[in-house]
């Protein structure tokens, strides 16, 4: 395999969470007086990076940790309603066959991810699940994963669906596969210059080789 260690984002990459994420956000928006997102507004928001998104929604960056923590708790109640991305189950099993380290790095909670993976009987595929409480803290965690598991950065590939995933990977000096089926649009991801731009899970099999 070209990459001995594959690390996945969770929301929007493995799990189809876009609709639920919007609904959870709207619960918080109504409670705290932020702009409620209508379904027809989501396509335009998919072009936004984190700074643009928070500005559009009127959310202060200082409130993000609080909202993220509260959103995780609401999300836990909805885990059973989530689906795997179409084609992801087969792809994960194939990728795991020749991979030394198979992990998840997410802004969601470890507990929520564990519940989801166990629902689909795929928890045993993953060697670790790492969670960051900060939406912008993934680069430090990628560096930590490299040190903890003694993985050369050239052997690591991060797979995510957001602009911030691409930026974090670039900052950490590791390769990144940006998937187009999650939150950010293909066009917005392409601008950030990911190592790979992926439009279907099965394409990851070729990338990993």
Question: Residue 204 sits in a domain of what CATH number?
Answer: 3.40.50.1000
Chain segment 154-189, per-residue pLDDT in tens: 999 999 999 999 999 999 999 999 999 999 999 999
Closest CA to 104 of 200, 202, 13, 186: 13
Query: Based on the domain organization, do 134 and 167 belong to the same domain?
Result: yes
Query: Based on the domain organization, do 131 and 203 belong to the same domain?
Result: yes
Query: Based on the domain organization, do 11 and 29 belong to the same domain?
Result: no
169 exposed, middle or buried (CB, 10 Å; 0-12, 13-18, 19+)? buried
Arithmetic mean of pLDDT over the chain: 92
Chain segment 53-106, per-residue pLDDT in tens: 988 888 887 888 888 888 888 988 889 889 999 999 999 999 999 899 999 999
Which residues are within 8 A (CB) of 55 and not within 5 positions of it... i.e. 6 or more apart?
A: none
Which residues are within 8 A (CB) of 33 and not within 5 positions of it... i.e. 6 or more apart?
A: none
Give the residue-averaged pLDDT of 15-22. Answer: 91
Query: Quick one: pLDDT at residue 68?
Result: 85
Chain segment 110-156, per-residue pLDDT in tens: 999 999 999 999 999 999 999 987 766 799 999 999 999 999 999 99
Q: Which domain holds residue 50?
A: 18-80
Give, rounded to a whole angstrom, the gap between the first and last alpha carbons of the chain. Answer: 5
Query: Based on the domain organization, do 91 and 181 belong to the same domain?
Result: yes
Which residues are within 8 A (CB) of 52 and not within 5 positions of it... i.e. 6 or more apart?
A: none
Query: Quick one: pLDDT at residue 101?
Result: 94
Query: Quick one: pLDDT at residue 89?
Result: 97
Half-sphere exposure of residue 33: CA atoms within 13 angstroms, side-chain side? 2
Query: Based on the domain organization, do 58 and 106 belong to the same domain?
Result: no
Query: Based on the domain organization, do 135 and 192 belong to the same domain?
Result: yes
Closest CA to 45 of 182, 157, 150, 168: 182
Query: Quick one: pLDDT at residue 69?
Result: 85
pLDDT at 1 over 80: no
pLDDT at 109 over 70: yes
Q: Which of 80, 101, 116 is the last residue of a domain?
A: 80
Query: Based on the domain organization, do 9 and 37 belong to the same domain?
Result: no
Q: Which residue has the higher pLDDT, 190 or 66?
A: 190
Query: Based on the domain organization, do 100 and 164 belong to the same domain?
Result: yes
Query: Quick one: pLDDT at residue 58?
Result: 87
Total domain count, the chain: 2
Query: Quick one: pLDDT at residue 10?
Result: 96
């Amino acid at each position: 395999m070209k990459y001995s260690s594959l690390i996945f984002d969770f929301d929007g990459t493995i799990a189809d969470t876009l609709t639920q994420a919007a609904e959870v956000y709207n619960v918080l928006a109504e409670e705290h007086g932020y702009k409620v997102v209508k379904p027809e507004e989501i396509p335009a928001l998919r072009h936004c990076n984190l700074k643009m998104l928070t500005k559009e929604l009127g959310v202060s960056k200082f409130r993000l940790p609080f909202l993220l923590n509260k959103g995780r708790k609401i999300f836990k109640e909805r885990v059973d309603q989530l689906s795997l991305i179409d084609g992801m189950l087969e792809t994960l099993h194939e990728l795991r066959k020749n991979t030394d380290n198979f992990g998840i790095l997410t802004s969601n909670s470890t507990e929520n991810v564990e519940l989801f993976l166990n629902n689909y009987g795929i928890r045993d595929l993953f060697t670790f699940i790492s969670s960051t409480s900060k939406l912008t803290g993934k680069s430090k965690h990628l560096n930590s994963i490299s040190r903890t598991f003694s993985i050369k950065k050239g052997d690591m590939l991060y797979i995510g669906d957001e602009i911030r995933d691409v930026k974090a990977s670039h900052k950490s000096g590791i390769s990144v596969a940006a998937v187009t089926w999650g939150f950010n649009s293909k066009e917005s991801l392409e601008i950030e210059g990911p190592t790979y731009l992926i439009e279907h899970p099965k394409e990851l099999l070729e990338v990993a080789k």
